[in-house]
Structure 1
Amino acid sequence: MRKAYRILYEGGTGEITEKKSRFIANFKPVQSEDEAQAFIEEMRKKYWDARHNCYAWIIGKKGEEKRCSDDGEPSQTAGKPMLDVLEGEQVVNVCVVVTRYFGGTLLGTGGLVRAYSKAVKEGLTACTVLTVEPAKKIAVATDYNGIGKIQYLLGQQEITTLDSQYTDKVELIILVPDERTGKLKAEITEATSGKAEILELEEVYYSILDKEVLLFPE
């Protein structure tokens, strides 16, 4: 059974200061380890004069791939806490780099863990994170007598119509969440007395941002 998951859709930047040390968190959506490494190198070049550029990334619907680095900070005080925040938020396809400019005061291991965690949380507030849900594209063909009933059903259930063609018959491409597919097909069949042709086209994932439907490949 396919499940919903959360992705970083748009990156952002957040910054905090702890005892004069600056912690700058930069986020970017990534689909592969190569993309993550390229972003990490980009941040290292941008902040070439910083003492540390620590990172964490998670890739895959189920977070199958993940990695983190303390980049010279004491072990387990930077990369792992950053990764923990991402896992806690259940965000995938994400890479974050936290750059530290040392302020002259040692923070201790506990202070570092809190600072890097806080920087990631602050950066996330500037990002766009989407919940991506499984759905099916379904083609529905009907005569003109049946289209009104079908459109009523779709409107009642807030089902998105992706495309429509009006010729000697009406053909719709609709987007139906996985868990509602069986019920809706039965209702369309009943409403049109079995005259509507229904064909499942492909499985996708989708999300809605600012009332716009975004589709993601399986």
Structure 2
Amino acid sequence: MTEYLIPTAASETEFVEKRSRFIGHVWPVESEEEARAHIEAMKKKYYDARHNCWCYRIKDGGVERYSDDGEPQGTAGQPMLNVFQREQVTNVCCVVTRYFGGILLGAGGLVRAYTQSAKDALDAAGISVVRRWVEVAVPCPYSFFERIKLEVEAKGGVLGEVEYAADVTVHALLPEEAVDGFSARLTELTAGALEPLLLGESFQAVPLG
């Protein structure tokens, strides 16, 4: 089963360390060309910055690239890339721009600053899981509403829209391998009174948490 993590959206974050400004950007990307287009755009936008360090990871071909852009070797691009490797996020491009504040940070300080900037930008972007999902609808009495929500979450599912009428209908996306267990759990909880309606499958990105 194919499953992988990507950034949910583009993001921009900023912090100051000893008068140096670090501006972090993250984007979801599908190709090296798309990643390089973002990198070039940032170099143009922040043309007066001392450094525009970058990295990207592309799932197809397992491509990983990074650049320290003039910072001491190993203090910027690689630590940034490590953030996405640790979080197992792919199809991602990150650029961290540094405006030098006149105070040297040292190698350790640079590693910490570029790591923090990449992590902050990823946190702001959010992470989505791309996988095959099964959409289900569960019509149920209002008294079961909260319980159904808990069961969806317990199976790694994601709640969707809720229809309110005489009964309530809960829509959700479930990992395909969790559907049978979810159905069995509903049967057990309601003595067979409730069962999910299967509405179809899709391969898509869904935000985590």
TM-score, scaled relative to structure 1: 0.67
Bigger shift: residues 99-108 or 47-56: 99-108
Q: What one-letter code is carried by the residue in structure 1 that aligns with 2:8?
A: Y
* Counterpart residue number, 1:2: 2
CA contact (8 A) 1:12 1:26 kept: yes
CA distance in 1, matches of 2:54, 2:183: 47
TM-score, scaled relative to structure 2: 0.69
1:78 CA drift (Å): 0.4
Q: Which has the larger radius of gyration?
A: 1
Bigger shift: residues 115-124 or 35-44: 115-124
CA contact (8 A) 2:130 2:203 kept: no
Q: What one-letter code is carried by the residue in structure 1 that aligns with 2:126?
A: T
1:77 CA drift (Å): 0.6
Instruction: Flag structure 2 segments of 5+ consecutive residues without an equivalent.
Output: 162-171
Instruction: Select 1:96's aligned residue among 80, 86, 94.
Output: 94
Instruction: Select 1:126's aligned residue among 118, 124, 127.
Output: 124
* Counterpart residue number, 2:105: 107
- Per the alignment, in what secondary structure is the counterpart of residue 125 of structure 1? helix
* Counterpart residue number, 2:169: none
Q: What one-letter code is carried by the residue in structure 2 that aligns with 1:14?
A: T
CA distance in 1, matches of 2:105, 2:96: 16
Q: What do the CA deviations read for 1:152-171 (whole angstroms, capped 9, x no partner)?
A: 6xx85658899xxxxxxxxx
CA contact (8 A) 2:134 2:198 kept: no
1:35 is aligned to 2:48? no
CA contact (8 A) 2:129 2:208 kept: no
1:47 is aligned to 2:46? yes
1:55 CA drift (Å): 0.2
Relative to 1, partners in 2 of residues 1:59 and 1:176: Cα closer, same or farther, differing over 3 Å?
same
CA contact (8 A) 2:128 2:205 kept: no
Q: How does 1:191-206 map to 2 (within 5 A)?
A: 204-206=203-205
* Counterpart residue number, 1:76: 74
CA distance in 2, matches of 1:35, 1:109: 30
1:201 CA drift (Å): 7.0
CA distance in 2, matches of 1:52, 1:123: 17
CA distance in 2, matches of 1:87, 1:209: 17
CA contact (8 A) 2:26 2:93 kept: yes
Q: How does 1:129-148 map to 2 (within 5 A)?
A: 129-136=127-134
Q: What do the CA deviations read for 1:115-138 (whole angstroms, capped 9, x no partner)?
A: 111111222232232233432579
* Counterpart residue number, 2:62: 64
Bigger shift: residues 100-109 or 47-56: 100-109
Q: What one-letter code is carried by the residue in structure 2 that aligns with 1:52?
A: H
Q: What one-letter code is carried by the residue in structure 2 that aligns with 1:2?
A: T
CA contact (8 A) 1:55 1:68 kept: yes
* Counterpart residue number, 2:17: 18
Q: What one-letter code is carried by the residue in structure 1 that aligns with 2:84?
A: L
CA distance in 1, matches of 2:119, 2:90: 15
CA distance in 2, matches of 1:51, 1:22: 10
Question: Larger % of helix: which?
Answer: 2
- Per the alignment, in what secondary structure is the counterpart of residue 91 of structure 1? coil
The runs of at least 4 consecutive aligned structure 1 residues that moved more than 4 Å come to 155-162, 181-188, 198-203
Number of aligned positions between the proteins: 183
